[in-house]
Amino acid sequence: MEVVIVPDAQAGGELIAEAMAALLRRKPDALLGVATGSTPLPVYEALTAKVRAGEVDVSRARVCQLDEYVGLPADHPESYRSTVLRQVVEPLGLPASSFMGPDGTAEDVQAACEAYDRALPAAGGVDLQLLGIGTDGHIGFNEPCSSLASRTRIKTLTEQTRVDNARFFDGDIDQVPHHVITQGIGTILEARHLVLLATGEGKADAVAASVEGPVAALVPASALQLHPHATVVVDEAAASKLKLADYFRHTYANKPVWQGL
């Protein structure tokens, strides 16, 4: 696992966007796994700026969802399908056909989970999966004590996650669904490159537990320690609880340029 400490969220967004751009230059039809929420917005904004400046061609790029609310209409403004279309697909000028995600409105939710889990490897696998992290250490919607071998499935959200997400529903927790479809931890670990972005002091404890603590189902993001190519990008506030922060700064400062992110 590589830990990169950046000055702020904007710097983190630029760094990850350049990694995505470099990937697309090598592999124009790369499958990018995207996350939702406020944290990854600087990444999408920076990547969009690169596209508009002609620095990278994304015409053949593909995008896939990490998770989706169950029962929320696909056209609901806070469904993750709508969010990804609004924040990623449309700004990048990608066609709707470039996008894939689970069906949160399916009559048979379990079948929809299994279908999406099969669809990802059938599409060639995820080349780079962008992740956020919850205050309790969850990735995707794999809440604490999720199996580290879990596959795409339905999950019940913790009350804390619903409280955290209520800000997207006018602060009304009653509007936040109780269930979601999420890629499992085992599914996430199959991506070729995992990039986790965390910003703000509120994520500091979760980052420290994930990076420096033991691999444990209680902290789902700690599973990134098992991945051969995992990168954790954190701003100074999110890095504030890391015991090895100085070492991480030193290793990144002396990293060979040819290694990339």
CA angle 19, 40, 42 (to 5 degrees): 75
Could you tell me how far CA 48 lies from the centroid of its own chain?
A: 17
Shortest CA distance to 206 belongs to which of 236, 235, 241? Answer: 241
Q: Is 108 a known active-site residue? A: no
Q: Are 193 and 129 in contact (CB under 8 A)?
A: yes
Per-residue buried b or exposed e for 136-158, using 16+ beta carbons within 10 Å of the residue's own CB: bbbbbbbbeebebebbbbbbebe
Catalytic residue among 67, 68, 117, 127: 67
Catalytic residue among 14, 76, 127, 138: 138
User: From residue 100, how far is each of 37, 94, 166, 172, 247 by CA, in Å?
Assistant: 18, 12, 25, 29, 39
Shortest CA distance to 155 belongs to which of 110, 111, 121? Answer: 110
Q: Is 138 a known active-site residue? A: yes
The sign of the torsion formed by the CA atoms of 168, 171, 176, 180 equals: positive
Catalytic residue among 14, 18, 117, 143: 143
Q: Are 220 and 184 in contact (CB under 8 A)?
A: no
Q: Is 67 a known active-site residue? A: yes
Q: Is 143 a known active-site residue? A: yes
Task: Give the residue numbers annotated as catalytic, written as ranges.
Answer: 67, 136, 138, 143
